Structures are given as C-alpha cells and as structure tokens.
Amino acid sequence: MGRVSQPHVTPNLRRAPVQQRSADRLARILDSCAGLLDETGYEQLTTRAVAERAEVPIGSVYRFFSNKRALVDALALRNLDTYADRIAARLADLPAADWRAAIDAVLDEYLAMKRSVPGFALVDFGPPFPAEGAADDANRRLADRLAVLLAGHLGRRPDEALSRAILVSVEAADALLQLAFRTEPSGDAAIVAETRTLVRSYLAHTLD
C-alpha cells in the first residue's frame, strides 16, 4: 500500500488523515479556507462556508478541526512548512559563504508568497488575532525554523546568538513589511528596500 501524502499535518488536528482520500480532503478544506480569507476576511469566515467551498459535508471539517480558529491555525502552520520548503530549495542553489544572498532569498520568498498565495496576506504564519490570553509565538516559530535553515546552509550551529539575531530580524522585518503592505497593496518598494538594508546591516555583526 502506498504512503499517504499528508498536506503538512499539524498538531491541532483532531484526527490525522490515514488514507490518501482523507489527506486530499484535508488539503481541499485548507485551500478553501485560504481562498475565503481573501474574499471575506477572518471575522466573516465560517466553517460552513469552508465546507461548501471544499464540497465536503460540514462534518468533514469538524472531523479535523474543532472550530474556525483551529482551521486557521492549521493553515498558518501549512504556510510555514511551505515557506520553509521554498527557502530550503532556494538555499540549495546559493553559495554557503554568501549569507546576504541567503537573507535576500528569505525576504524574496516571503514577498512572493504575500503577493500570490491565497490567504497568505491575512494569515501568513499565525492567525490575524492571537487567542485571548495566549502569547503570539508565530514569529518565534518562524525565527526558529529560519535559524535552523540558515545555520545548516552556512555550516554553523544554530546557537543562542544566531537564534536571537534571527528572532530580532524577524520581528523588525515583520513590523516594516506590515507597513509596506499597508502603504501599497503589493508592498511599497521603498519600504521593502529599507527593510532589506536594515536586516542585512543588523545581521552583519553576527554573520560576517
């Protein structure tokens, strides 16, 4: 029997798919959620609308997710996995010594997904509104993943200094890129350029 291709199974699933048909259905549910986020926003999103768009019974959505928050969380984690996969592919074609090119790849892939991936403009690596009383750790998850990828590419350990530098860079870039996309729907080019300069300059003391 062939291996089930699971669409970035996430820890908040009520039940992980064990058959290919179930995995395909889960992928359709997440795809439908992403498309509806672009059309309606998070507040108007409903699990029933997702089920109708995915052409599955509402029970199929609840088989995997307890509510729309869990559904959006799963989409965010799928986005993170997809982004990490794209970064890894880009880094494989770059010389290890050129950390600036690696940072450019990290930024360029984010911008490409922001502009083209359904739902990503509203839900990139975390839901648009943190759960009440919960810390928003989306940027930390992203920074941890990037630290491992960059450390492997550069041939160094993802030690505390590198992890901290990547986290600070992610937080700074997140704030600036939010500004860029508020200013211009496709991302204000001048602010994006300033973001790139800031991140490169800051990381130079750790990576040079």
What's residue 1's pLDDT? 36
- Per-residue b/e over 5-31, b at no fewer than 16 CB within 10 Å? ebbbbbeebeeebeeeebbebbbbbbb
In this structure, how many other beta carbons lie within 10 angstroms of the beta carbon of residue 134?
7
Predicted structure pTM score: 0.88
Task: Please state, in angstroms and as integers, the Cα–Cα distance from residue 142 to each residue in 96, 103, 138, 166, following that order.
Answer: 21, 14, 6, 9
| Dist. CA 168–CA 28, nearest whole Å | 35
| Dist. CA 165–CA 185, nearest whole Å | 29
- DSSP state, 99? H
What's residue 23's pLDDT? 87
Amino acid letter, residue 127: P
pLDDT tens-place values along the chain, 208 residues long:
344 444 444 556 656 665 788 889 999 999 999 999 999 999 999 999 999 999 999 999 999 999 999 999 999 999 999 999 999 999 999 999 899 999 999 999 999 999 999 999 999 999 887 665 455 589 999 999 999 999 999 999 889 999 999 999 999 999 999 999 999 999 999 999 999 999 999 999 999 9
What's residue 20's pLDDT? 85
Helix (H, G, I), strand (E, B) or coil at 141: helix
